[in-house]
Chain A
Amino acid sequence: MKLLLKIWRQQNSETEGKIVDYMLDDVSPDMSFLEMLDVLNEKLIHKGEEPVAFDHDCREGICGACSLMINGVPHGPEKATTTCQLHMRKFTDGQEIVIEPWRAAPFPVIKDLVVDRGSFDRIIQKGGFISASTGSAQDGNTILVSKIDADASMDAAACIGCGACVAACKNGSASLFVAAKLSHLGLLPQGQPERSTRVLAMVMQMDEEGFGSCTNTYDCEAACPKGISVKNIARMNRDYLKASLFGV
């Protein structure tokens, strides 16, 4: 395959960036999207040019490191798939592919396609955990969890924190991510004691980081590589309202 890549290049967070065109030949349809970028980078290195910086780690769709806005859609055209799991056979020979970083004030560009998602970590630090005493763990079987709650919690726990929801949202809202984390813990018995303080603290941090607000357009849900449902956002709103009205 032959491709025309239009890639955002930016030296660092201080400088201005721009889209640069690259022609790439001999792309195998069996390559993953990131392997295709690896090939481009090798060529650039051979020519003595700076390779394109992009985030990646597991390359098997579980870590949440890879990102990339591909032709205007986070993680590219395939539904419920991370960029690292996207294959070049989803593109056509001769196609033009625009590759940009996530765009949001709380996700500043560090270099080229790499953004700083530390804002997500700071939201997690505010309440994305349960407090448990140290010592030997309690016997798991003594805490009963209904199958329905366990499944719903597991579905929410599938969030890998990639930020595609923010990237897709016209408002740059992190609601889907925060809601996934809240549902993940808030649906389990172990998450109950801190359920109210957690929602207030995490939402406050989300607002302080400068993410936008949710207008229920639901592009986040369509962009999410893990298929996190917006019903988690409704649960977050409910919990938040309850905690604000009745205290914690």
Chain B
Amino acid sequence: MLGFLRSTILSKIVMAVSGAALVGFLIAHLTGNLLVFAGPEKINAYGQGLRDLGPLLWVLRIGLLVAVALHIISSIFLADKNRTARPVSYSKKKSIQSTIASRTMLFSGITILTFVAYHLLHYTYGIVQPEFYHGEYMLHDGRTVHDIYSMMIHGFTNPFITVSYVLAVTFVCMHLNHAIASAFQTLGFNHPKYNAKIKMFGVGLSAILWVGYLSIPAGIMAGVVKLIEGAH
């Protein structure tokens, strides 16, 4: 199954396809999380809706896990190959037209990975802030569900969590600033008529994701999103 690792080009293609799946996840995840602005009812019902997917949720989770695994395996293989390709470094080396984002993909990737692990420990496993993990919320239809809304607010009231989140989102968007346009090239799509648009799409989408993800802590800190009295 990992035969693609024999070829740098196939590894890059796996990287691009798995990366594209992860970009899809980031868009979906943001769309869901923005419901926090619609109040506790909406976002908690959405969270419950995800849980109600049952086996389908597991299909999505496993798909995501496979994409992450493939992305990381190929990045390790390629990074190792790239390192050994230049055993003696230059005493003076200038980059000519490459961007910083393109030269630091491994670094931004590892930063993202570290944050994702922490993020899962926080919101999925409830290990980071266990005191806020078991909150319950009663939906209008009478069902009692996991209170995501207050958990998010408690998270972003903690300065350490907020700062690490802001940094991580920034690194994700730096990664994507290069990655999205890069994936088109890797998959063989390069045309003078569309190149400028592809680049704009990559930069634009990463900027939208950045603003979107950061609007949540911003909204909470600005008091637009706040705890509802008596709901907790």
List residues of chain A with CB under 8 Å of any chain B CB.
6, 8, 19, 69, 71-73, 98, 100, 103-106, 168, 170-173, 203-204, 206-207, 210-219, 221-223, 230-231, 233-241, 244
Contacts and interface: CB of A to CB of B under 8 A. Distances in A.
A103 B9 CA distance: 22
A214 B12 contact: yes
A217 B185 CA distance: 11
Given A100-B90, A210-B84, A212-B82, 5 more contacts: A100-B92, A210-B81, A214-B12, A230-B185, A238-B188
Interface string B59-102: 00000000000000000001001111111111111111111001
B10 to A, nearest CB: 6
Contacts of A173: 8, 82, 85
B11 interface: yes
Given A100-B91, A237-B188, A244-B10, A213 B97 contact: no
A23 to B, nearest CB: 18
Interface of B: 6-13, 78, 81-99, 102-103, 105, 178, 181-182, 185-192
B171 to A, nearest CB: 17
B185 A234 contact: yes
A231 B8 contact: no
Contact of A234 (B85, B98, B102, B188): B188
B89 A213 contact: no
Nearest to A206: B8
Nearest to A73: B94
23 contacts: A71-B92, A100-B91, A103-B86, A106-B85, A170-B82, A171-B81, A172-B86, A173-B85, A203-B7, A211-B85, A212-B8, A212-B86, A213-B12, A213-B81, A213-B82, A214-B8, A217-B103, A219-B95, A222-B96, A223-B96, A234-B188, A238-B187, A240-B7
A43 B134 CA distance: 82
A72 B182 contact: no
Contacts of B186: 214, 216, 237
Nearest to B191: A231
B212 to A, nearest CB: 25
The prevalent SS among residues of A at the interface is mixed
Nearest to B87: A105
A217 B102 contact: yes
A237 B185 contact: yes
A100 B191 CA distance: 35
Given A71-B94, A173-B82, A241-B188, A217 B87 contact: no
B85 A237 contact: no
Nearest to A237: B188
A216 to B, nearest CB: 4
B87 A170 contact: no
A137 B102 CA distance: 48
Given A237-B12, A240-B9, A171 B96 contact: no
A83 to B, nearest CB: 15
Contact of B11 (A105, A213, A217): A213
A218 B199 CA distance: 13
Given A217-B102, A236-B9, A103 B88 contact: yes
Nearest to A168: B96
Nearest to B101: A217
A219 B85 contact: no
Among the interface residues A105, A215, A219, which one has the most CB atoms of the partner chain B within 10 A? A215
Contacts of A236: 9
B92 A105 contact: no
A233 B185 contact: yes
Nearest to A213: B8
A212 B85 contact: yes
Contacts of A230: 185, 190
Contacts of A203: 7-9
A117 to B, nearest CB: 14
A116 B175 CA distance: 36
B66 to A, nearest CB: 20
Nearest to B94: A72
A207 B8 CA distance: 7
Given A170-B95, A237-B188, A72 B86 contact: no
B20 to A, nearest CB: 14
Contacts of A216: 102, 178, 181-182, 185-186
